[in-house]
Amino acid sequence: MKFLEKYDFNSEDIEEFINITPKKMMDKIKDNQELIEANLSFLKGLGIKTFKEIFFDFPAIFFMDNSNFQEKFNKYVKESLIERLNENYKVVEYL
């Protein structure tokens, strides 16, 4: 999970993530690291401040194919999307 450091996760964040994530999910993340990173980069690049919280609580969506992942967010007006997710990141589950 050291790759998460590239996305501003500190060691405490990473340890917390490992503690809350089932082993099979962790293994899948490791097996799909490139995809996970592509999706994390995209989300961070959008300017969404809560991208770490989104990854913590909704790691499953990061297994989406990168183009579908981008489409999930790009269908909204960027400014209002950012505002909405920064205010309440949990709505990401229903975008």
Partner 1 sequence: MKIDIVKRVAGNFKQRDKDHVAEFLPVYDLINEESVNVLDKYKVTLTRNSQVDVLTQDAKTLEQTLSLASKMNFLDAYNENPRRLNILVADVIKRMSKCDAIGIPYKTDKGYANFLFSEKLFKEMTSSLTSEQKKIITPPSLDESKPNEEQVLDAIVTKFDFPQDVVIKLKNKLEELKEQDLSLKEKLMQTLAIVNPSDMEFLEKTINSTMEEMNIKEEKGLVA
Which residues make up the interface to partner 1 (CB under 8 A)?
Answer: 12-13, 15-16, 19-25, 28, 57-61, 63-64, 72, 93-94
Of 15 and 83, nearer to partner 1 (C-beta) is 15
**How far is 15 from 87, CA to CA, in rounded Å?**
25
**How far is 11 from 81, CA to CA, in rounded Å?**
29
- Nearest distance in Å: CB 57, partner 1: 7
Of 48 and 54, nearer to partner 1 (C-beta) is 54
> Rounded to an integer, what is the distance from CA 4 to the centroid of its chain?
10
- Nearest distance in Å: CB 73, partner 1: 12
